[in-house]
């Protein structure tokens, strides 16, 4: 440590611009890393949201398919049988 004439420690000179940048690098790296993690989390949220939308669309598609292949034909058959039963009374 350097001392001045009176024997007291001399204050250190202000950091140079280069020294300030070097000191700021770890902080900047940490901030960048945090932003990357936040973006990755946002990506996961969007992907999950899209998966849910696809699943909901698949449910609607299956309902329509069920209506077309099972429910409507069953209702038509029921109606037919009821009319035949009424006619045979």
- High-pLDDT (> 90) share of the chain, %: 64
* Average pLDDT score, the chain: 88
Tokens 């973006």, residue? 39
The yes-or-no verdict on residue 3 having pLDDT over 60 is no
4 pLDDT band, cuts 50/70/90, is low
89 pLDDT band, cuts 50/70/90, is confident
Return the pLDDT at 73: 93
List, for residues 37-47, the tens digit of each pLDDT value.
999 999 999 99
| Rounded Cα distance, 69 and 75, in Å | 11
Helices (H), the chain: 17-66, 72-87
């Amino acid at each position: 440590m350097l001392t001045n004439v009176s024997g007291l420690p001399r204050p250190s000179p202000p950091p140079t611009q280069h020294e300030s940048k070097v000191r700021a690098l770890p902080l900047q790296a940490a901030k960048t890393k945090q932003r990357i993690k936040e973006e990755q989390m946002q990506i996961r949220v969007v992907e999950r949201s899209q998966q849910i939308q696809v699943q909901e669309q698949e449910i609607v598609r299956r309902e329509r398919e069920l209506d077309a292949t099972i429910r409507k034909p069953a209702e038509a058959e029921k109606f037919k049988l009821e009319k035949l039963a009424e006619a045979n009374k």
